[in-house]
Amino acid sequence: MTSKERFDLTVNHKQPDKLVVDFGSTSVTGIHVSTIENLRKFYGLKDKFVRVTDPYQMLGEVDPELMEVMGVDAVSAKGRKNGFGFYNHEPLMEYLTPWGQTVLVPEGFRTTTDEKGDILMHPEGDTSAAPSGRMPRSSYFFDAIIRQKPIVEENLDPKDNLEEYGFVTDNDLEYWKVTTEKARATGKAVVAGLGGTALGDIAHIPGIKLKEPKGIRDITEWYMSILMRPDYIKAIFDRQSEIAVENFRRLHQVIGDNADAVFICGTDFGTQDSTFCAPEQFDDLWLPYYRRINDWVHSNTNWKTFKHSCGAVEPFMSHFIEAGFDIINPVQVNASGMDPVHLKKTYGKDLVFWGGGIDTQKTLPYASPAKVREEVLRLCEIFAEDGGFVFNTVHNIQANVPVENIVAMVDAIKEFNGNK
For 274-290, the DSSP string reads: SBSS-HHHHHHHTHHHH
The DSSP secondary structure of 196-222, one letter per residue, reads S--SS-TTTTT-TT-SS--SS--HHHH
- CATH 3.20.20.210, domain 3-50+59-84+149-418, yes or no: yes
Strand order across the 352-354 sheet: 20-21, 389-391, 352-354, 327-329, 304-308, 261-265, 189-192, 74-77
Q: What is the pLDDT of residue 123?
A: 98
Nearest partner of 84 among 137, 50, 129, judged by Cα: 129
Q: Is the peptide bond before 91 cis (omega within 30 degrees of 0)?
A: yes
pLDDT at position 182, please? 98
| pLDDT score for 307 | 98
> So what's the pLDDT on residue 266?
96
* Residue boundaries of the structural domains of the chain: 3-50+59-84+149-418
Kindly give, in sequence order, each residue whose CB lies less than 8 Å from that of residue 138, ignoring residues fewer than 6 positions away: none
Q: What is the pLDDT, as a whole number, of residue 359?
A: 98
Give every CB contact of residue 83 below 8 A, 6+ residues apart in sequence.
Answer: 54, 55, 56, 203, 204, 208, 209
Element (H, E) at 48: none
Instruction: Per-residue pLDDT tens, the chain, 420 aa: give them.
Output: 999 999 999 999 999 999 999 999 999 999 999 999 999 999 999 999 999 999 999 999 999 999 999 999 999 999 999 999 999 999 999 999 999 999 999 999 999 999 999 999 999 999 999 999 999 999 999 999 999 999 999 999 999 999 999 999 999 999 999 999 999 999 999 999 999 999 999 999 999 999 999 999 999 999 999 999 999 999 999 999 999 999 999 999 999 999 999 999 999 999 999 999 999 999 999 999 999 999 999 999 999 999 999 999 999 999 999 999 999 999 999 999 999 999 999 999 999 999 999 999 999 999 999 999 999 999 999 999 999 999 999 999 999 999 999 999 999 999 999 965
The residue count of the chain comes to 420
CB 157: neighbour CB atoms within 10 A? 11
Look at the alpha carbons of 189, 183, 92, 145 in this order and tell me if their dihedral is positive or negative.
negative
pLDDT of 207 reads 98
How many Å apart are CA 337 and CA 351, to the nearest integer? 17
Partner residues linked to 275 by β-bridges: 270
Residue 357: strand, helix, or coil: coil
Q: Are strands 59-60 and 20-21 parallel, antiparallel or unpaired?
A: unpaired
